[in-house]
Amino acid sequence: MADKKRVLITGAAGRIGTMVREALQADYDLRLLDLKPVEGHDSIVADTTDYDAYRPVFEGIDIVVDLANDPNGSLSWERAYANNIPSTYNCLRAAQEAGVKRVVYTSSNRASEGYEHDEPYASICRGDYTGLKPGGFPLVTTSMPVRPSGPYGIGKCLGEAAARYFSDYYGLSCVCLRLGTVHGSDQPRAVRQFATLLAPDDLKRLYACAVAAPDSLRFGTYFGVSSNDWRFWDISDAARDLGYHPQENAERYRNDVTF
């Protein structure tokens, strides 16, 4: 595998980590890390909040896909402060010190979920499309101010800011992905997900695109969502910069699910 780029996936044992492994394993030499062994794979067990123990893992790595955090969207501030925030900073610092070329940081739509208090997004999330048509309203963009919905989202906003810092001051290429709803299925499990769902195959496309993006891309934050009719996040920049073109659409399940 000497001719393949070396990619470190942190949080590799989780749901998203599993999908990212599947997306990248054919084209990259993967190094896997988690708090627990990755079943069926050689992997490294380490606590990402322990910098001294974590730092050696980055040696010889070209690209990092950072998924290491507590994924509970309702976690407490104490947990975000003690775990998620230092884990993200440690990853960026270790990557910079080890000479890694790019970090793909897994952010979340919870960094901007506050916009869902506004219309028409509030109505769309309730499944009320009265007077609306798909694509006929302004989309939420990543250039708009962050509006986190709680400690988890605050941690993601801080992670995006830290990535910007390491890009600006150390030249580390950082790609931040604000993922939509990911539960491992193509079918919505709540009415909001007709807008927000990121289906597994599209998630794999997104990470493959982020890892393979041109070296000239120094920093960017992008929404990750499928091509849902009622999507209200702008992904035109992800198409332009990353070549991300989602293929799945939650709308095709409209008549197959009830809530």
Q: Give residue 192's domain range.
A: 6-253
Mean pLDDT of the chain: 96
Residue 190 lies in a domain: yes
Residue 1 lies in a domain: no
The reported pLDDT for the residue numbered 259 is: 82
Q: What is the mean pLDDT of residues 10-29?
A: 97
Residue 33 lies in a domain: yes
Per residue in 157-184, pLDDT (tens digit) is: 999 999 999 999 999 999 999 999 999 9
CB-based contact 179:224 (threshold 8 Å): yes
Q: Tell me the three state secondary structure of residue 230.
A: coil
Here the CATH number for the domain that contains residue 17 is 3.40.50.720
Predicted TM-score (pTM) above 0.85 = yes
Per residue in 50-60, pLDDT (tens digit) is: 999 999 999 99
pLDDT at residue 239 above 80? yes
From CA 152, how far away is CA 72, in angstroms rounded? 8
Residue 258 lies in a domain: no
Q: In what order do the strands lie in the sheet with 6-10?
A: 44-45, 29-34, 6-10, 63-66, 102-108, 173-179, 219-224
Number of domains in the chain: 1
